[in-house]
Chains A and B, each alone.
Chain A
């Protein structure tokens, strides 16, 4: 079975532009989370979606938005890009969003560079 797939793998944008990152979860997984990983640091939570609804949001500005589709795939959108948005954007999936804790399975990420 395929793991979590993300596209594109690399992206170069300029300040002020908009970007859309895409993620397909593992087959059967209904929850998708997005994390931002700045070089040299651990991943930081941005969003979590389950059954097309936002179930959690980290401390990120409103320039960041996301959505989940009926097939459980997801998009992360970032508007008005800043140099500080340069990072590895990771998508992770898990089976459900129940009270039982579940491990996250990560994709390889999209490396975004803002010039």
Chain B
């Protein structure tokens, strides 16, 4: 399944399918981006990061794409598993203080 729009709050996918979660940011000075996964009752868990001098970065089953022209970030999860069910946040920072600005999050539900 693929999310559409910039702030879709929920996404449901079948187990084994690929998931795409999108995020928009507004400040062109943002230069470092992180995707976090947050499960119920837990703090955000680091998934993958990307700096503004890159447009793609891959991890284990995850890929982050950065389009600075339209200020858009996406997280692709391959072969989505039930354990991937969580809320996913994009976070960006733009200043030397390392203060992060978080999006509102997308709730991913994996259907077995």
Interface residues of A (CB under 8 A from B): 4, 31, 33, 35, 40-45, 48, 55-56, 58, 90, 92, 94, 97, 99, 101-109
Contacts and interface: CB of A to CB of B under 8 A. Distances in A.
Contacts of B105: 41-42
B49 A103 contact: yes
Nearest to A4: B43
Interface in B59-111: 89, 91, 93, 95-105
A35 B99 CA distance: 10
Contacts of A55: 97
Nearest to B39: A108
A94 B96 CA distance: 13
Nearest to B51: A101
Interface in B32-64: 32, 34, 36, 41-46, 49, 51
10 contacts: A4-B43, A33-B100, A41-B105, A48-B97, A48-B98, A90-B43, A101-B51, A104-B91, A105-B46, A106-B45
Interface residues of B, number: 26
A43 B101 CA distance: 8
A41 B96 CA distance: 25
